[in-house]
């Protein structure tokens, strides 16, 4: 376990911890309720959270980059605001931070599920995505008992997902559909890219994650197979609190215009140009 923590977690812990400490230092007193756009504009700072991965937000040498990072920075700049962005690996921490007012927006692709619509307001869709099974390529031809070629073969298998992932509901429904148990293990200390690495290096056999993230690392991990879709292609959006309807309107109006701009096309092509699912 110590080796796994060092191999998959420590490289991102320092970055995430740095931004978490920085945010704590900037907030003189904690916010206890979500802000709407008027309060954000008055204070001049937009607090956002996202996930640390090679598509959304990452540090490359002394440069911060990522699709959602560049978009939320562009929105803040257009409104004369400063964007304070904190990467968090935990889905629950991002949702809790939005609920208690530490963050104004989750600038990360969230599945527009009916369960979350009860507690969140979603922006207009940013991306199309789906959940896929990440496994190693078949090594023994027809006799490779580990390789899964269709959803029925998931019966009795142990599948790893990030804690609170939208894949949880889909896997439960799929278990009912195939009439057998799929053993789902929620992993709290890792993000999707760490689970993908664990599959590639044989520490676990199966993981389910967003296809876009899996495709982003596929070139460096050619031993992986991600062809089996677990769910349908669905809309993914940013989210704000139900107490922030004016912020939602501001984001939607800005996104409507920005997505028609050359700058948006440049950003999109930079991160998703090779991802066929997103086209």
CB 185 within 8 A of CB 159: yes
Q: Who has greater pLDDT, 226 or 31?
A: 226
Which of 73, 86, 96 shows the shortest CA–CA distance to 27?
A: 86
Let me know if 246 is exposed, middle or buried by CB neighbors in 10 A (0-12, 13-18, 19+).
middle
Residue 127 β-bridge partners: 236
Q: What is the pLDDT of residue 141?
A: 60
- Stretch 45-62: mean pLDDT: 93
Q: Considering only residues 42 and 16, tell me which one the structure prediction assigns the higher pLDDT.
A: 42
Residue 226 has pLDDT above 90, yes or no: yes
Mean pLDDT of the chain: 87
CATH class of 131-225: alpha beta
Higher pLDDT, 132 or 54: 132
Judge contact between 23 and 84, C-beta under 8 A.
Answer: yes
Mean pLDDT on 212-224: 92
How far apart (Å, rounded) are the C-alpha atoms in residues 209 and 197? 12
Instruction: Count the Cβ atoms, other than its own, within 10 Å of residue 138.
Output: 15
Query: Does the structure show a pLDDT above 70 at 16?
Result: no
- Lowest-confidence region among 110-114, 123-127, 167-171: 110-114
Task: Report the share of the chain in percent with pLDDT over 90.
Answer: 72
Statement: residue 163 has pLDDT above 50: yes
41-45, 166-170, 260-264, 272-276: which range is least confident on average?
A: 272-276
List the structure tokens of 49: 């959270």
Tell me the average pLDDT across 152-176: 94
Predicted confidence band of residue 112 (pLDDT cuts 50, 70, 90): confident
Task: Give the ranges where 44-119 is alpha helix by DSSP (H).
Answer: 67-78, 91-99, 114-117
CB distance 101 to 181 below 8 Å: no
- For residue 103, is pLDDT > 80? yes
Q: Report pLDDT digits (tens) over 74-96.
A: 999 999 999 999 999 888 999 99
Residue 104 near residue 47 (C-beta atoms within 8 A): yes
Contact between 135 and 206 (Cβ < 8 Å): yes
Q: What is the CATH number assigned to the segment(s) 2-128+236-278?
A: 3.40.190.10
Residue 16: both structure tokens together:
């995430």
Question: According to the model, what pLDDT value does residue 142 have?
Answer: 60
Q: What is the pLDDT of residue 274?
A: 59
Q: Please give the helix or strand (H or E) that residue 122 lies within, else none.
A: strand 120-122
pLDDT score at 21: 45
What is the reported pLDDT for 32?
A: 74
For tokens 């057998």, what's the residue?
180
Q: Which residue has the higher pLDDT, 15 or 74?
A: 74
- Which of 37-51, 128-142, 245-259 is predicted with the least confidence, judged by mean pLDDT? 128-142
Kindly state the tokens that stand for 28: 């003189």
Task: Extract the tokens encoding 267.
Answer: 């950003």
Q: Which of 106, 89, 103, 97 is nearest to 13 (CA)?
A: 89
Q: What is the mean pLDDT of residues 13-36?
A: 57
Banded pLDDT at 62 (limits 50, 70, 90): confident
Task: Check: CB of residue 137 under 8 Å from CB of residue 147.
Answer: yes
> What are the start and end residues of each CATH 3.40.190.10 domain in the chain?
2-128+236-278, 131-225
Provide the pLDDT for residue 114: 79
Contact 190, 11 (CB under 8 A): no
């Amino acid at each position: 376990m110590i080796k796994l923590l060092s191999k998959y977690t420590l490289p991102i812990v320092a970055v995430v911890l740095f931004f978490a400490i920085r945010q704590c230092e900037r907030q003189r007193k904690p916010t206890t309720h979500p802000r709407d756009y008027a309060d954000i504009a008055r204070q001049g700072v937009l607090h956002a959270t996202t996930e640390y991965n090679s598509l959304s937000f990452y540090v490359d040498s002394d440069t911060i980059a990522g699709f959602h990072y560049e978009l939320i920075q562009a929105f803040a700049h257009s409104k004369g605001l400063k964007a304070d962005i904190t990467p968090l690996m935990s889905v629950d921490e991002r949702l809790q931070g939005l609920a208690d007012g530490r963050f104004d927006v989750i600038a990360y692709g969230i599945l527009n599920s009916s369960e979350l619509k009860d507690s969140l307001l979603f922006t207009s869709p940013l991306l199309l995505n789906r959940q896929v099974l990440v496994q190693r390529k078949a090594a023994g031809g027809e006799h490779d008992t580990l390789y899964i070629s269709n959803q029925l073969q998931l019966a009795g298998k142990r599948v790893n997902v990030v804690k609170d992932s939208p894949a949880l509901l889909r896997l439960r429904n799929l278990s009912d559909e195939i009439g057998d148990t799929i053993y789902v293990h929620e992993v709290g200390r890792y993000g999707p890219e760490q689970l993908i690495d664990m599959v590639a290096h044989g520490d676990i056999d199966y993981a389910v994650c967003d296809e876009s993230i899996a495709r982003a690392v596929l070139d460096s991990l050619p031993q992986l197979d991600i062809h089996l879709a677990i769910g349908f292609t669905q809309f993914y959006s940013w989210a704000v609190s139900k107490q922030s309807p004016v912020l939602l309107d501001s984001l939607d109006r800005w996104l409507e215009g920005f997505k028609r701009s050359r700058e948006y096309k440049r950003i999109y092509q930079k991160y998703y140009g090779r991802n066929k699912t997103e086209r």
